[in-house]
Amino acid sequence: MVNLLQASNLTISYKTADGEHKVLDNVSFFIGKGESVGLVGESGSGKTTLGLSVLRLLPSNAVYNAGSIRYNGSDLLAMDEKSISRVRGKDISVVFQDPLASLDPLFTVGYQIAESVTAHRPDIGKAGLEEIVESIMGDVGLPEPSRTKQLYPHELSGGMRQRVMIAIALVNNPSLLIADEPTTALDVTIQAQIMDLLKRAKQEYNLTILLITHDLGVAFELVDRLIIMYGGVIVEQGSKQEIFSRPYHPYTKALLMAIPELMDIAQHAPPRLSAIPGSVRAHYDDYEGCRFYDRCTYRTKECLDKEPDLTEYSPGHPARCIHPLL
């Protein structure tokens, strides 16, 4: 498989009132063309930072300390502004958690979808543009496109607004879609519909998808491979089957145990619910050893000697733990 995206040694900090803190530490991963990859970890682990860094959409207090992000071979972090703006919304699109915050309340949704087209095809004629807008609206399941396109964001439900965001993201036929918690703000039934839409879009648009979520259960249906993050580092990655059937890292195992119905599918274990006690730290700047140590039931004093390396315990399935659950 050809790598569409390849991040190497990505390290990112935020400048804050009490100094500069690293929130991504030497993160390397790839996404193959046509693959769907889930980036999973709890709140504060650095998922959004990683997703936004790809298109250089991080806030101004973010510092790219090191690393590269290659898309089709070109380093997105080294591109000039003009080149990266050509990539945004054309080759790579992003969908966020909160469609209301991303849509402009003052313009109709049809206008905002059209804007995404004209940003990359300024010469397109009005008739052609209307046709493209209505066609994508139909594709993402927005009813009566010719009428709905004239509505303002507040006139649509949350699920419909997310469909508009997905229409904006897909209208230029991108290769890669980064979806950051696309269903977190929605009701459970609507969540399932949006995930179905992404699944369908993956097929019909030949999309490569990076799905960011704190919920392994949400990722399960859509993704081929999983990257598990904890405290700014990757702690495990591998195919969905591998991760679900034999997680190596105690953190991954704990995430799985929190989804009773999936534990049942994956390991035929009796359903049980277990939250992971404790929480991830804000940063690990002056920290040595395993970042999960405080919360780990398998810890020994050796875990604090140094940060464990990502070790490939089986092909394509590395974990950052010296006591893997083999």
Ligand X SMILES: Nc1ncnc2c1ncn2[C@@H]1O[C@H](COP(=O)(O)OP(=O)(O)OP(=O)(O)O)[C@@H](O)[C@H]1O
Phi then psi for residue 30, to 5 deg, are -135, 160
User: Should residue 23 be labelled a site residue for ligand X when binding is judged by CB under 6 A?
Assistant: yes
The piece of 37-45, 135-143, 217-225, 251-259 that touches ligand X (CB under 6 A) is 37-45
User: Should residue 183 be labelled a site residue for ligand X when binding is judged by CB under 6 A?
Assistant: no
Q: In the complex, what is the shortest distance from the CB of residue 87 to Mg ion, in angstroms, rounded to a whole number?
A: 22
Count of residues near ligand X by CB under 6 A: 15
| Partner whose binding site includes residue 59, from Mg ion, ligand X, none (CB under 5 to 8 Å by kind) | ligand X
User: Should residue 41 be labelled a site residue for ligand X when binding is judged by CB under 6 A?
Assistant: yes
Contact set for ligand X, span 201-240 (CB under 6 A): 214
Cα 46 to Cα 58, 108, 116, 243: the distances in Å are 12, 33, 28, 20
User: Should residue 148 be labelled a site residue for Mg ion when binding is judged by CB under 5 A?
Assistant: no
Looking at the Cβ atoms of 77 and 322, the one nearer to ligand X is 77
Looking at the Cβ atoms of 42 and 134, the one nearer to Mg ion is 42
Looking at the Cβ atoms of 62 and 117, the one nearer to ligand X is 62
Q: In the complex, what is the shortest distance from the CB of residue 214 to ligand X, in angstroms, rounded to a whole number?
A: 5
Q: In the complex, what is the shortest distance from the CB of residue 213 to ligand X, in angstroms, rounded to a whole number?
A: 8
CA dist., res. 30 & res. 323, Å (int): 25
Query: Residue 138 burial by CB count (10 A; 0-12/13-18/19+): exposed, middle or buried?
Result: middle
Q: In the complex, what is the shortest distance from the CB of residue 22 to ligand X, in angstroms, rounded to a whole number?
A: 9
Looking at the Cβ atoms of 230 and 313, the one nearer to ligand X is 230
User: Should residue 16 be labelled a site residue for ligand X when binding is judged by CB under 6 A?
Assistant: yes
Region for 280 from its dihedrals, namely left if φ exceeds 0, alpha if ψ lies in -120 to 50, beta otherwise: beta
Q: In the complex, what is the shortest distance from the CB of residue 211 to ligand X, in angstroms, rounded to a whole number?
A: 13
User: Which x/- pattern, by CB under 5 A, does the window 30-69 give for Mg ion?
Assistant: ------------------x---------------------
Interacting residues with Mg ion (CB under 5 A): 48
Interacting residues with ligand X (CB under 6 A): 14, 16, 23, 41, 43-49, 59, 61, 214, 282
